[in-house]
Amino acid sequence: MAERILSGERRALARAITLVESGRADHRAQAVALLAEVAKAGRQALRIGLSGTPGVGKSTFIEAFGMMLTGQGLKVAVLAVDPSSARSGGSILGDKTRMERLSRDPLAFIRPSPSQTHLGGVARRTREAVALCEAAGFDVVLIETVGVGQSETLVAEMTDLFILLMAPAGGDELQGVKRGIMEMADMILVNKADGDLKPAAMRTVSDYAGALRLLRKRPYDPEGFPKALPVSALAEEGLKSAWEEMQTLAAWRRDNGFFVSNRAEQARNWFEAEVREGLLARLTRDPAIRAKMARLGAEVAGGRMAASDAAERMLRELDA
């Protein structure tokens, strides 16, 4: 299977992603072995995170941006991190018809967000799917998320560049973007810079450019970054400029070492998060431990034992 992925077989890639999404223990063991095997090839894509609230035209943008990239001969994978997919029963990308042209493009690969119950599971699956896409020889891996809760932080922590897609704002009002999100952004793209909305989009670009200037300059980035730029996914304008700016930024970071050190840090964090999750999984995996937890929990709930005391007993049990 590793070989077929490395040779770029799309069906093998799709099946491998299904494997990493599985919760079964035997699947997990296979997935870990597969990931270790394909990692040896050392292939890397440019990982781009993209966040934008519903209505900002994210699907249209990804389709237009993706087609522009494949038009240059680049292989593009699109993954989604959608923490709500478990609830809504479908992912933002579930309906590939929303990216009809891109999904038919032989150089593109689109994979919707899996139905997972917690963000931690989505995070693991997405990190592993990125690794599989890189092994399959993709040049660019786009990871998209809706701008809710912690999913943006999560995507920023697994990508080389994190892009915010925004809509033109009315007047000079900024769209209540949280400062924390602005600080994560490597670039802000204001979509819908076409037709009647163009003047508003241009104003919004300069508002964001001003707001970005007020944030602390990043020592590892060139003068003038992070930038705010206008794009029109509909008219397919500004996409090439945006891509050029992304490449400039990535090249600069490669030159000064930040690109590599950032990836190393992300990989280390991923490893540590996996260990923590694996450790906590013990509390629910073993029936005997589950029963003991429930028994002590009932003692505490009934007021017959102090929580800290019960916790100490449980931990001693786990040590034994």
Which residues of the chain form contacts with its own copies (CB under 8 A)? 31-33, 35-36, 39, 42, 127-128, 131, 264-265, 267-268, 270-272, 274-276, 278-280, 282-283, 293, 296-298, 300-303, 305-312, 314-315, 318
Residue where the block lists tokens 């397919």: 236
Which two three-digit tokens encode residue 11?
């069906």
Beta strand 46-51 with 140-145: parallel, antiparallel or unpaired?
parallel
Query: Which residue, 61, 66, 49, is CA-closest to 190?
Result: 61
Closest CB to its own copies among residues 257, 278: 278
Task: Please say which residue, 71 or 278, places its beta carbon nearer to its own copies.
Answer: 278
Distance in angstroms (rounded) separating the CA atoms of residues 164 and 172: 18
Which CB contacts under 8 angstroms, 24+ apart, belong to 147-151? 147/51, 147/52, 147/53, 147/181, 148/83, 148/84, 149/83, 149/119, 150/83, 150/119, 151/51, 151/81, 151/82, 151/83, 151/119, 151/122
Indicate the residue among 216 and 316 with the shorter CB distance to its own copies. 316
Element (H, E) at 291: helix 287-301
The nearest distance, CB 169 to its own copies, in angstroms, is: 18
Judged by beta carbon, residue 125 or residue 227, the one nearer its own copies is: 125
Instruction: Give me the least distance between CB of 8 and its own copies, in Å please.
Output: 20
CB of 234 to its own copies, least distance (A): 33
33 versus 215: smaller Cβ distance to its own copies? 33
Report in angstroms how near the CB of residue 61 gets to its own copies at its nearest. Answer: 29
- How near is the Cβ of 29 to its own copies at its closest, in Å? 8
The residues with which 232 forms a beta bridge, in sequence order, are: 237
Nearest approach, Cβ of 239 to its own copies (angstroms)? 31
Dihedral (CA of 240, 245, 249, 255) sign: positive
Query: Cα-Cα-Cα-Cα dihedral of 248, 205, 79, 137, to 10°?
Result: -20
- Cβ proximity to its own copies: between 55 and 303 the closer is 303
Measured at the alpha carbon of residue 289, what is the angle toward residues 285 and 293, in degrees to the nearest 5? 115
